Structure 1
Amino acid sequence: MHSTHERKNRALALAAVAVGLLAGGIAAGGVSTTAESTDTATDTIANAAAAEPGKLPAVQGLKFTLGDRSVKLDWKKVAGADDYRVYADYSCDTVPNSASSSQLVKDHLGKTTEWTHQNIKATCVNYAVAAVRDGQQGVLPPFGKRVLVSMPNRDHSAAAQRFFTAAPRSGDRVATTRVAPGKDRGIVLARAYIRNKTLFTDAIGDHRSWTANPAASAKITVAWNTSTGEVAAYAHKSCPVGITAPASSVETPPCRDALPLAFVSDAASVGDTSKDPRNLISVSRTSSRGLSIGVSAMNSWERTCVGETCVGPGFGRINARLTLSPGKDTFTASLTADKFPAWEFLRYPHFVQGAPETRIIGFRDQTEIGDLRSGQQSTCTSKGPETLQFTNPMSC
């Protein structure tokens, strides 16, 4: 039989493991990697369950802010401390390693309660911070607190290439301008497209439904790189249904090249009676550091001109005024536009923790094509947090 003393020791050991798992988190894969740091000294840490008399207590409130292969740490001040030390263990193991085997990555911080770990090459880092007084180190937790380090978002890279780097695909049009740079909230897309709800709209439209693909066809897309201030307007060519395979670069005529693009002062004020044979866009920064966008765009099948004589089905222009207003790391979207076609607002964060990621700010469905000329516009606003799936309809 086990003695009462042995049972207590076993319970304490199990509790320590449980606390460590909660603090460190569980990461999939069990991959172990190492990272280089400017401070490479190591230290043997004596872990104690509680502070001994005269010894500083454990640091509380350790939090993280992720950057490009960097982690900013901040924590609560420990009364009586005159210095702090930061320890790290570069492991994604399911069961975190004991903080006693961690590497000292930064010391001599003084009384500051924050530090940024730069140029991290590991996938996971388990951090622990110790308070120091007169060179004597206080208590460390049994296990570090785990961070999955952020990395560039492949969806952001694809969007940047599509709208700001690569030449447009054959028959497409792109025009670029620039507004003031700002906080890096990634790349935001606002795009109007004809959704394939019926045989007719599929025949004249973009042959798709909702999608987060940066390269998806749309009558008009406005892309904004929030960090650099770059803005691109992109118009896809129009092809009858069945002519173009979305995943193929091989196309069979007849397709109609997109109409030219131009940035003007107030595109949203251009009406359906305008004879301007271009897609018109306007952009400007708002007082809240968001973006105001005006659109007056046309399907390239809308107008066929021989000399000065132009004919077409008379669908009308896609008219819209929209505003992106910042809030924390994202935006709310407000759209006043014709009820046809559909609109979607997407955000591609610059950095993510793992898989590529697209955030859905909001979307609005379409009615009938007659609403392009009806003059009956609707006003819709994104109504809640971003989502990772198309489950975020705007409130109209």
Structure 2
Amino acid sequence: MFERGPIRWSPGETPNPQWARAKAKHIDGNANAGDQHATATLLPKGADRGIVLVRGFIGEGTPLTNAIGEHRKWSTDPEAGAKATFAWDTATGQVGVYVEHSCIQGTGWCRDAKPLVRTQHARVVDDSTAPTNEYWVEPYGDGGIRIDVSMVNAFVDAPLVETQNLGRINATFYVWPHGYDDKNRNFTGFDSKTQKDKFPSWEVLRYPRLKENSGGLEALWQATVWQGATSDLKAPQHTCTRIGPDTAPVDMSCA
């Protein structure tokens, strides 16, 4: 596992409430009504780098994305709305997967999230209407994680042309330790790379278990990539990368 020395200790360290919220919602908790949730120890135990969230969400924009999306931009809230959230506890190797139900805003019409299935078929990039949300998680490199996901809209089998033909959300994410600051004896975050559809938006965050002091940072950005158009779900994928410590800027470079 990735480890190069002692992590800097601060006498004012205090528990991070956002770490606790991320763990309670995505790893330890149960699914809310209409949602899907699964958790398992899928990775080896490692140095405690906090909880890493990788989540895809439909951001605000067009009338369609406003109708079916999360009505937000970037958020450090560990419980912010998302189509799918992967939460990795780097200390225990536990991974939680959470998929939310879908609603058409302003209509009161909601549908339960389709069943969550752990299968290597999640690596297959296709746009079938199979009513399952597929995922696969495994170790990557030296202390990292690989996430494969193939998600379907909950309205895929509803009598709405706009949602029936959207296609699946297909993505593969690789997240691995960026490095270690020998001078300050401190971990410096995670690097990220993804091969994915250009829709929706994705964000990667890290929540340390302890803050350096009562006013310390509770959430650290690792990577972000904004969405294209819904039609991009059926277009060729792109590759996005962000290599650097967990400080701004964190926009991924895509090609």
Contact 2:190 2:245 in 1 (8 A): no
Contact 1:206 1:238 in 2 (8 A): no
The match for 2:3 is none
- Please state if 1:326 is matched with 2:177: yes
Q: 1:302 aligns with which of 156, 173, 196?
A: 156
Q: 1:227 aligns with which of 91, 98, 107?
A: 91
* Structure-2 change in CA distance of 1:64 and 1:294 (3 Å): closer
The match for 2:183 is none
* Structure-2 change in CA distance of 1:266 and 1:284 (3 Å): farther
- Please state if 1:392 is matched with 2:243: no
Q: 1:377 aligns with which of 215, 233, 237?
A: 237
Structure 1: unaligned runs, 5 residues or longer: 1-62, 67-146, 244-252, 306-310
| Deviations, residues 287-334 of structure 1 (Å, cap 9, x unaligned) | 3121011010012112239xxxxx952100000111011123321010
Ranges of 4+ aligned residues in structure 1 off by more than 3 Å: none
The match for 1:316 is 167
% identity of equivalent residues: 37
Q: 1:159 aligns with which of 13, 22, 27?
A: 22
How do 1:122-271 residues align onto structure 2 when only pairs under 5 Å count?
A: 148-178=11-41, 179-242=43-106, 253-271=108-126
Structure 1 CA distance for aligned equivalents of residues 127 and 63 of structure 2: 25
State the 1:64 CA deviation: 8.4
**In angstroms, what is the RMSD of aligned CA positions?**
2.1
Structure 1 CA distance for aligned equivalents of residues 17 and 121 of structure 2: 34
Structure 2 CA distance for aligned equivalents of residues 335 and 151 of structure 1: 33
Structure 1 CA distance for aligned equivalents of residues 210 and 222 of structure 2: 17
| Deviations, residues 72-118 of structure 1 (Å, cap 9, x unaligned) | xxxxxxxxxxxxxxxxxxxxxxxxxxxxxxxxxxxxxxxxxxxxxxx
Contact 1:172 1:234 in 2 (8 A): yes
Q: 1:343 aligns with which of 198, 202, 225?
A: 202
Amino acid of the structure 1 residue aligned with 2:140: T
Q: Which has the higher contact order (CA 8 A, sep 6+)?
A: 2
Structure 2 CA distance for aligned equivalents of residues 242 and 186 of structure 1: 37
Structure 2 CA distance for aligned equivalents of residues 183 and 340 of structure 1: 33
Larger Rg: 1
The match for 1:80 is none
Structure 2 CA distance for aligned equivalents of residues 227 and 381 of structure 1: 25
Task: Give the structure-2-normalised TM-score.
Answer: 0.86
State the 1:166 CA deviation: 2.0
Structure 1 CA distance for aligned equivalents of residues 60 and 7 of structure 2: 44
Task: Give the structure-1-normalised TM-score.
Answer: 0.56
